[in-house]
Amino acid sequence: MDTVEHLSYSPPKSIGFGHAPRKRNVFDAWDMTQRFLTRNTQGALRTDILVEAVGPSGYAGEKLTFPSQERALATFGAPEKSEGHWCRWRIGIEDVPKAFELFSYAHASHQRKVSSFRFCITQDFRWRGIDDTTIAGSYLGINFDDFNGMFFQPAYVFPFAFDAQEHRPWLQALMKDSPFRLREPYFKRALQTKAGNSYRTLKLDKNWLTNASDA
């Protein structure tokens, strides 16, 4: 039986927060992200969404220039958990627009000396425009932090091998449409294990995508 090979993409842990958006303005970045997901994927957000806020001062007594915790209390009610200056809420998908609005105000208003508000969402999906036969699909984590801004943590699997030329136009169009830049070194070969329920990954040659595109 031939080994099934796909193509995977995920940034290494060494790059920290993940990928920064192409658009510097958070409203533009969020709009581009939603358009990308609508056009290219079919799936749903995970329902376990946590929101954290610090106030009225930072962990070490830093003066905060935006009342993130006060606004969060007014928006989401009593927190699920709190300790000292820190509070945490568990919100539903319907409250994501409210969380983004609060993040955008905090991000624009304070001097960014310390984080005062953050939340993260994750979308599980399969790709549109192609027969997605991957084991468990893909996901995209999106972090919103008023100090660090908005950044992405993707774990993509594409249902074709790295050298499948017939799918190259689809991949290149998707990369161009992405709200963040996909970097060539972060792609890997993904070989299904004998059990068929997971992958083992192998590095690709340097410039594998660029060289193939120039051929």
pLDDT(215) > 70: no
φ/ψ of 5, rounded to 5, equals: -120, 130
Tokens of 12: 């290494």
Rounded to 10 degrees, the C-alpha dihedral 26/32/34/40 comes to -150
**Model-level pTM?**
0.92
The answer to whether the CB of 21 falls within 8 A of the CB of 144 is no
Host domain of residue 14: 5-214
pLDDT(158) > 60: yes
Half-sphere exposure of 116 (CA within 13 A, CB side): 28
Give CA angle at 105 (179, 42), nearest 5°: 35
Number of structural domains (the chain) is 1
The answer to whether the CB of 107 falls within 8 A of the CB of 149 is yes
CB neighbours of residue 214 within 10 Å: 7
Q: What percent of the chain stands above pLDDT 70?
A: 95
List pLDDT tens digits, range 161-183: 999 999 999 999 999 999 999 99
pLDDT(214) > 60: no
The answer to whether the CB of 128 falls within 8 A of the CB of 39 is yes
pLDDT(14) > 90: no
d(CA 157, CA 8): 4
Strand, helix or coil for residue 73:
helix
pLDDT bucket at 110, cuts 50 / 70 / 90: low
The predicted pLDDT at position 17 comes to: 79
Which residue did the predictor score with more confidence, 136 or 2?
136
